[in-house]
Amino acid sequence: MHRNSIRNLLRTYLGSHPDEADTARRVIDFVEGNSDCFDRSLNEGHITGSAWIVDSSETNTLLTHHRKLGIWLQLGGHADGESDVLSVAMDEAVEESGLTSLEVVCEEIFDLDVHGIPARKNESAHFHYDVRFLFRQTGAEDYIVSEESHDLAWVPMAELESYTSEWSMRRMRDKAVRILSSKE
């Protein structure tokens, strides 16, 4: 029962993004095969929720220099048993940035990614099945760097490549630009 919402979101995403069918099906299969897919204790992997945040001008995105991974990424984190992944993405964005005026641009999934997380002291290598949503900051853009980050930065989307070469980051930037320009 608790997986119905994500199943519906994933099926909608699959129908809207046939070019990403392999990733969408991989996430769908993971959710279908694991009733505990939202639990961090699932050793093979777990659902995470992320936020691609744009500023009010819609030209900059907020990135975190992730403390454990040492790379620039969108904000987000573990579902920790919560099945409402949009809520997870919002909560993680607020927790990691201190921003309080975030609005959801679209309640449908913005992007999906499956990526490996290397083994660390108390964790074996596993996968994050990352469900991503698009947000806009509507108020003050001053952020607070949390313990999970080395730093945060409002990065001009046109200059994203100077922060990261991650393919999924460029894909999200390109999607955000398309979506936001189509809403004008």
For residues 56, 165, 124, 62, the Cα torsion angle rounded to the nearest 10 degrees is -10
Tell me the mean pLDDT in the region 77-99: 95
- All domains of the chain, ordered by start, with CATH? 4-182 (3.90.79.10)
> Considering the entire predicted model, what is its pTM?
0.94
Q: In terms of pLDDT, which residue wins out, 15 or 149?
A: 15
pLDDT of residue 184 exceeding 60, the answer is no
Cα torsion 152, 125, 14, 21: sign: positive
Contacts of 12 (CB under 8 A, 6+ apart): 108, 109
**Which has the minimum average pLDDT: 148-152, 165-169, 172-176?**
148-152
The band of 142, judged by pLDDT with boundaries at 50, 70 and 90, is confident
Structure tokens, 39: 């639990």
pLDDT of residue 101 exceeding 60, the answer is yes
The band of 150, judged by pLDDT with boundaries at 50, 70 and 90, is confident
Q: How are beta strands 111-117 and 126-137 bridged, if at all?
A: antiparallel
pLDDT of residue 94 exceeding 90, the answer is yes
The band of 146, judged by pLDDT with boundaries at 50, 70 and 90, is confident
pLDDT at residue 149, as a whole number: 75
